Amino acid sequence: MDEIKNKLLQPNAEGIISIIINFILFSIKLFAGLVTGSVALIADAWHTLSDSFSSIVLLMGIHISKKPPDNEHPFGHGRADLVTSLFIGVLLAIIGFNFVLESIEKFQLKQVTNFGLIGLIATIISIVVKEILARYAFYVGKLHNSNSVTADGWHHRSDALSSLLILPGIIFGNNIWWMDSVLGIIVSLLLFYASYDILKNAISPLLGEKANNELLTQIKQVTDDEIKMDLQIHHVHIHNYGNHKELSMHIVLPDATTVAESHNITDKIEKRLKLELNINATVHVDPQSLNNFPDKI
């Protein structure tokens, strides 16, 4: 039982399950949209299918990110996870733009949509199933610190919310001719927001981020606990490679410290940071006589 649970909590399992369920939901919602003639339902169906495409890309990204370092990529392939997130974000934006155009066209033609019972059933099923998938993806993404799996979760969540927004159209659409067109545009705006959030969270680590206060505190605690002295840690640079981090930082030691002693201290710090925080660290030693470390933590 535990083995099955562990397999289901792997990022690739989330991708495979998403592909299967999304294709089933796409078929249900597309059928309902074609029968009722609803642009919002059809847009929602293609939004669901785009989840399948993003999950396929997710699986490819997971496979690449697990490859070990080689001569051309000495820091590994972990950033493939972030590149996958970029693709998912761009895909959401393109789909949203197409739905805006379709909604405007339907508004101009003043087309009335009769959703019917089939539209109501398809929408409710989609809301429940997609929210379950979203929570599943968020849990797996947090468990494995995976941006792309979390992005896939937002894809599921945006699909659930877009289906939720269609419910007023099902209830009032027969009496208000422009309801379906307006809901189609609202769904598109939701897609744009999800796209922005995913792209922001992927681009920022790729460009390079400063270490946050929480991580700096953890680094100082681990280092102080290992060496038992104030090393005046400063000049901290962190590089995120998806499944691992590379850190460079400076410490301060008394001028009389020998090279061998300095090596022993930095070696202990690097090993402890790897063990406690899974960070590959490179530590540089400054002599205490410099006495000028404004960025120390």
pLDDT of 7-61, one tens digit each?
A: 778 877 888 888 899 889 888 888 888 887 776 677 778 767 777 777 787 777 7
In 3D space, the residue among 140, 116, 131, 149 whose CA is nearest the CA of residue 34 turns out to be: 116
**51, 185 Cβ separation under 8 angstroms:** no
Q: Please state whether beta strands 245-253 and 234-240 pair in parallel, antiparallel, or not at all (unpaired).
A: antiparallel
pLDDT digits (tens, 9 = 90+) for 100-120: 887 787 777 766 656 667 878
Q: Tell me what the mean pLDDT of segment 236-264 comes to.
A: 87
Q: What percent of the chain has pLDDT over 90?
A: 12
* pLDDT at site 149: 83
Question: Which residues in 264-282 are b (16+ Cβ under 10 Å) and which e?
Answer: ebbeebbebbeeebebbbe
Q: Is it the case that residue 94 has pLDDT exceeding 80?
A: yes
* pLDDT at site 73: 76
User: Under 8 Å CB-to-CB from 73, ≥6 apart: which residues?
Assistant: 67
CATH 1.20.1510.10, applies to 2-207 = yes
Boundaries of every domain in the chain: 2-207, 213-290
* Averaged confidence pLDDT in the chain: 81
* Residue 259: pLDDT band with limits 50, 70, 90: very high
Q: Tell me what the mean pLDDT of segment 160-173 comes to.
A: 71
Q: Tell me what the mean pLDDT of segment 138-164 comes to.
A: 80
* pLDDT at site 115: 63
In 3D space, the residue among 203, 200, 133 whose CA is nearest the CA of residue 161 turns out to be: 133
Could you tell me the pTM of the whole model? 0.62
Give the Cα separation of 160 and 170 in Å (integer): 15
Give the Cα separation of 78 and 64 in Å (integer): 8
Q: Is it the case that residue 277 has pLDDT exceeding 70?
A: yes
- CATH H-level superfamily of 213-290: Cation efflux protein, cytoplasmic domain (3.30.70.1350)
* pLDDT at site 84: 78
Q: Is it the case that residue 95 has pLDDT exceeding 70?
A: yes
Q: Is it the case that residue 132 has pLDDT exceeding 90?
A: yes
* Residue 173: pLDDT band with limits 50, 70, 90: low
User: Under 8 Å CB-to-CB from 35, ≥6 apart: which residues?
Assistant: 116, 118, 119
